[in-house]
Structure 1
Amino acid sequence: MKILLSNKSDLPIYEQIKSQIKEQILTGSIAENEFLPSIRQLAKDLGISVITTTRAYSDLESEGFIATLRGKGSYVLPKDAEMVKEQYLKKIEEAFTIAMENGKAANISNDELMLILKTLMNE
């Protein structure tokens, strides 16, 4: 598992950890049922507080990506197709929002934005 942290990111460190682990789970880089490093080990490897890694793991667990077994650690849950779809829909919505904001800033009409999308979809 590879985690890269950036002090220049707008995201808090726990959110950077969570999003990178989530992405690796969704892409299959971290396999279903694979155990993650312990909270303490990940904190040590990244040079951060145990509280920060605990928050990231807790969020991943509440979102249904991992489960924790007392005394054994945290592991990746089998992917739920609906959950995977929902995560990608969220990313698409975020990308569309950015595109619309950029379009508005550049004085590009909604019709022009739709034409761009349709053109990209046909390529």
Structure 2
Amino acid sequence: MKEKEMLHEVITVKTKSELSIYEQIEQQMIDQILDGTLAENEQLPSIRQLARNLKISVTTTARVYNDLSNEGFIISIVGKGYFVAPKNNDLLKERMLCEMEKGLEKAVISGRNAGLSDNKIITALKDYLKNIKKTERCCDT
């Protein structure tokens, strides 16, 4: 079985980006927390280790971790380090709900642009949810 990739191996920092390095790292970490790539309670590298691995300043990684902590995505445990926050965290739930709403908005706009009625869009969503449940049951074995 392949070992899990380290955080610094799944973060890409682009020097020619509209986003600052700090914003790139923060957004990628948020995306990975929301999509489950970074699992609940998973320990993150230390601020210094992540800075060293990404070849960026400690100040930048400290700012990322501080902001993610303030937003409820990660937690700091004194003497142990930083961890991905539990999913029952209210701030994280709120952010995930916001992300879901953005996705639904995009889906509705796409459906309407395709000429679908609201009822057909709702039916498509229900069908999608049924198919996801079937897939989850198949994979739970």
> Under a length normalisation based on structure 2, what TM-score does the superposition of the two structures give?
0.64
Aligned pairs for 1:1-123 (under 5 A) are 1=7, 2-80=10-88, 81-89=93-101, 115-116=112-113, 119=116, 122=121
Structure-2 separation of matches of 1:73 and 1:51: 16
Instruction: Let me know the Cα RMSD of the aligned residues.
Output: 2.7
Give the share of equivalent positions with the same residue, in percent: 46
Secondary structure of residue in 1 paired with 2:98: helix
| Cα deviation digits, residues 82-113 of structure 1 (max 9, x gap) | 331123335667x69xx9xxxxxxxxxxxxx8
TM-score when scaled to structure 1? Answer: 0.73
Kindly tell me the number of residue pairs found equivalent between the two proteins.
107
Runs of at least 5 residues in structure 1 that lack an aligned partner in the other structure: 100-112
Amino acid at match of 2:77: L
Alpha-carbon distance change, 27 to 116 in structure 1, aligned in 2, over 3 angstroms: same
Structure 2 unaligned runs (5+)? 1-6, 125-141
Question: What amino acid sits opposite 1:78 in the alignment?
Answer: P
Question: Greater relative contact order: 1 or 2 (C-alpha under 8 angstroms, separation 6 or more)?
Answer: 1
Secondary structure of the structure 2 residue equivalent to 1:54: helix
Q: Can you list the C-alpha shifts for 1:3-34, whole angstroms capped at 9, x where unaligned?
A: 10111211111111111111111111111000
Amino acid at match of 1:36: L
